[in-house]
Amino acid sequence: MRITRVLGTAALLFGLAVPPAAADSSPSPSASSDAGAPTSAGTSFRTATEFEQGQDATASASTGDYLYWSFPADAGQRPTVKATVKLPDSHAAQTWQVDVYDGLRRRQACQYGAQTRTAAQGASSVELTCVMRTVRAWSEPWADDPLPGTYYIRLTAVNLTTADLGQPIDASVRVDSKDIGGSAAVDGSLAQPLVPGIAATSDSGDGDGDSAKAAVLSSLEPDDGWASGWWSDRWVWTAIGGALAALAGVGGYALTRGSGRPRRMPPGA
């Protein structure tokens, strides 16, 4: 009877704890509509064109140009940057490269993907991919870990021949993220995301309490705000571990305490 009660309690606890873990493991929805997606690119970090994750940003340019875009990434996300360049009908072999920088303009390494690729002579297009490391909520000052904030994409051709300079090309970039969950959680968070100019904001001084946002060089942020990934499945598994430890204690006590009645001594003992 006691064992039946213990098993019933375990089923109840698992029934309450498992659904949040399942919900957290699914990837967060990203913008599926390209409404408002930019059709141009910047030529430097300061003029980088902003776009949201899940959008297809496009631009028409010339070979030899440096193309810049920026997008927001929050803690717990692992962004994948994809770039496609449509080349002119006639061209020599070209090598294209996509680089990703954080809000401090530190170049971020790619875990895997074809970050640099050479298009053979006459190829119609070239595709590049950079799967970044997981964005962490906090890191040591000396580390080069990805942190929440603005990220920059730079797309350009390297080692071009003189004959190919200035030829028209069409470029498109897209960023999608996978939510990693509690395996990437850390005990800490940034006071502010790495958004250029965010520390330079000040009150407008007109008495209405509004802040002047002109100093912020990047205005995009995640749909539910920065540091939205404070909840992770680490909380769920911690709760499950505590529940299992409590059940083990209750079960061990129930199995070892006996019937609970005092043992009767034989007469004359």
Distance CA 97, CA 156 (A): 6
The pLDDT of residue 228: 58
Q: Is residue 135 part of a domain?
A: yes
More confident residue, 184 or 205: 184
Q: Is residue 204 part of a domain?
A: yes
Q: 34 phi and psi, to 5 degrees?
A: -95, 15
Please determine, for residue 203, whether its predicted confidence score (pLDDT) is greater than 80. no
Taking CA atoms, 106 is separated from 33, 119, 144, in Å, by 30, 27, 8
Sign of CA dihedral 225, 227, 111, 66: positive
Sign of CA dihedral 114, 117, 120, 124: positive
Contact 24, 181 (CB under 8 A): yes
What's the DSSP call for residue 157?
Answer: E
Kind of pairing between the strands at 77-86 and 125-132: antiparallel
More confident residue, 267 or 261: 267
Q: Is residue 44 part of a domain?
A: yes
Question: What mean pLDDT comes out for the span 157-171?
Answer: 92
Distance CA 175, CA 131 (A): 10
Question: What mean pLDDT comes out for the span 87-94?
Answer: 92
Q: Give the residue ranges of DSSP H helices in the chain.
A: 2-25, 233-256
* DSSP 3-state of 164: helix
Distance CA 105, CA 152 (A): 8
What's the DSSP call for residue 216?
Answer: -
Can you give the residue range of the structural domain that contains 114?
Answer: 29-231
Question: What mean pLDDT comes out for the span 151-173?
Answer: 94
Q: Is residue 141 part of a domain?
A: yes
Q: Is residue 110 part of a domain?
A: yes
Please determine, for residue 24, whether its predicted confidence score (pLDDT) is greater than 70. no
Q: Is residue 255 part of a domain?
A: no
Sign of CA dihedral 184, 190, 193, 197: negative
Identify the CATH number of the domain in which residue 138 sits.
2.60.120
Q: 159 phi and psi, to 5 degrees?
A: 55, 50
Confidence band for 20, pLDDT divided at 50, 70 and 90? very low
Q: What is the pLDDT of residues 224-248, one digit of tens each?
A: 677 654 555 666 667 788 888 888 8
Phi-psi region of 34 (alpha: psi -120 to 50; beta: other; left: phi over 0): alpha
Contact 41, 60 (CB under 8 A): no
Q: Is residue 214 part of a domain?
A: yes
Our count of domains for the chain comes to: 1
Distance CA 127, CA 143 (A): 30
Share of the chain above pLDDT 70, in %: 67
Could you tell me the pTM of the whole model?
Answer: 0.70
